[in-house]
Chain A
């Protein structure tokens, strides 16, 4: 009896949690353009419609390029900082690590407005460079955290040993440290990619009338249209995320990613 009750509660909450995704999935096969589930004669017309929408295609391209560049840039600039925090002693270390986590504590609208004010005079709104700079700030905390985690859980003895045997700092890093912390790096890069790909608010501010990311295109589309093309697009995006998760699971193991 109790078990049944708690089972029901859990199921209901799960249903609530997945409700919009289920709705989006069903609506994507709608037979009409109405904003409700209408499966009179299920069709794939909205998938066709979505693929022929050049704004979506362009937005997806921009999102993929920026997310990919952001995850590389954030690794190249972020990992050394994490390395310094974990392995070096220097004054102001705590302040530095607080500094690198602080973007998480600032509402995105605030960051977005600030970036808009900086970018407009420089004509950086609606450019790749602008979006990448904007996304750097919000993704770097994650990369530093995941890298720190894997640096802290791994002993320095291997690195020490390599140094004793005469390896230079670069050799030590590339031969020893990097392989050890690579799961953390991949996790960080993946998170940076997903966050950059999904980010809507900051991108909305810095998009201007030039290049925009996919979430911004979707947001703008919803201001003029409400047909199920958005649903079809969302289903495709969900499938891509699932694929991404499966790939990570195969390559590094989901648990390692989740733990960090």
Chain B
């Protein structure tokens, strides 16, 4: 705000204002244009082409027929299977978001409060997984959760199990892996959102006789809630659009929008349906983000 005022004051005092502002407008355009064209080609154009494709038809024998039809949306929305896919997708997002937040919260709280000289290292360790490719970490989880993996191996060696339990190749494995893979985002969001938290406030409440539980519920939690919300939304959004982990660990049992889109696009070559599903995913996303913004706005008021 301060910067804006200075600029206005200065230009306002110049006699050659008109000329300069025309020149400046051209300059502004020159600054904005190249980047905008880049984003148009790499982002907007693909979305437009995809939306157009969603009104085409997948003809008999897999032919692509250029036309204008709502058939694909009709098929996707009138079919209970796709409702189940949408449901699965949302459920996966909610569960991952919830679990990631629950696990990330103590870590974020600890990292905000700690005065240890290892603080830097501990923060780095919590965020380090972000620097490791999701494909590599998914591989790690397959090794841990697989039928011959570390967990099943341990349980069978100790005689707690006679045969392996199915952790990989189904929804539970996907959820475990996704929670871990996306948790660092929640930790990051929370650490930066916990700025308002400050030890003296909690201490004050404590000396005034509030129990630890009460201090947490009345002071800590409300102050950290915005960070928690951001963390949840981030993980929710990222898990809804996750693809690599559900694909490698789902065992063909996990049907979510992202894997459906990929299958239709690359296996059955039904581009119109893949596009329609993408548009549905996009709308779902938009609604959720808008709803979330409303929520945070109300919360902040």
Contact = CB atoms under 8 A, between A and B. Distances in A.
A–B direct touch, CB within 8 Å, in complex? Answer: yes
B226 interface: no
Interface in B243-301: 243-244, 248, 257-258, 261-262, 265-266, 271, 274-275, 278, 281-282, 285-286, 289
Contact of A222 (B32, B50, B125, B139): B139
Contacts of A109: 241, 243, 257-258, 261-262, 278, 281
Contact of A99 (B31, B39, B148, B275): B39
Contacts of B59: none
A126 B10 CA distance: 51
B107 A215 contact: no
Interface stretch (B40-48, B65-73, B213-221): B40-48
B282 A106 contact: yes
A21 B138 CA distance: 10
Nearest to B244: A200
B32 A118 contact: no
Contacts of A176: none
A114 B27 contact: no
A84 B28 contact: yes
A24 B141 CA distance: 9
Contact of B241 (A17, A99, A107): A107
Nearest to B120: A254
Nearest to A155: B3
Interface in B138-161: 138-144, 146, 148-150, 153
A200 to B, nearest CB: 5
B281 A107 contact: yes
A55 interface: no
Interface range on chain A: under 10, 10 to 19, 20 to 34, or 35 or more? Answer: 35 or more
Nearest to A37: B150
A110 B132 contact: no
Contact of B136 (A36, A218, A244): A218
B42 A137 contact: yes
Interface in A85-115: 86-90, 96, 99-100, 102-103, 105-111, 113-115
A200 B183 contact: no
A34 interface: yes
Contact of A218 (B7, B30, B120, B133): B133
B225 interface: no
Contacts of B148: 34-36
Contacts of B140: 19-24, 27, 231, 234
A86 B2 CA distance: 12
B92 interface: no
B6 A113 contact: no
Contact of B143 (A36, A87, A160, A215): A36
Say what secondary structure dominates the interface of chain B: helix
A57 interface: no
Nearest to A233: B136
Contact of A117 (B180, B258, B271): B271
B2 to A, nearest CB: 8
Interface string A178-218: 00000000000000001000101100110000000011001
Interface string B41-83: 1110111011001000000000000000000000000000000
Contact of A107 (B150, B180, B240): B240
A103 B43 contact: yes
A114 to B, nearest CB: 3
Interface in B198-257: 237, 240-241, 243-244, 248, 257
A85 to B, nearest CB: 9
B34 interface: yes
Contacts of B30: 80
Contacts of A78: 35
Contact of A88 (B28, B135, B149): B28
A109 B271 CA distance: 13
B258 A23 contact: no
A77 B42 CA distance: 13
B126 A14 contact: yes
Interface of B: 2-4, 6-8, 10, 24-25, 27-28, 30-32, 34-36, 38-39, 41-43, 45-47, 49-50, 53, 103, 106-107, 110, 120, 124-126, 128-129, 131-144, 146, 148-150, 153, 177, 180, 183-184, 237, 240-241, 243-244, 248, 257-258, 261-262, 265-266, 271, 274-275, 278, 281-282, 285-286, 289
Given A20-B137, A106-B285, 16 more contacts: A6-B110, A17-B125, A17-B129, A19-B141, A20-B139, A24-B139, A81-B31, A107-B237, A107-B285, A111-B46, A198-B131, A200-B135, A200-B243, A205-B262, A205-B265, A231-B140
6 contacts: A18-B129, A111-B46, A117-B275, A118-B46, A200-B135, A201-B258
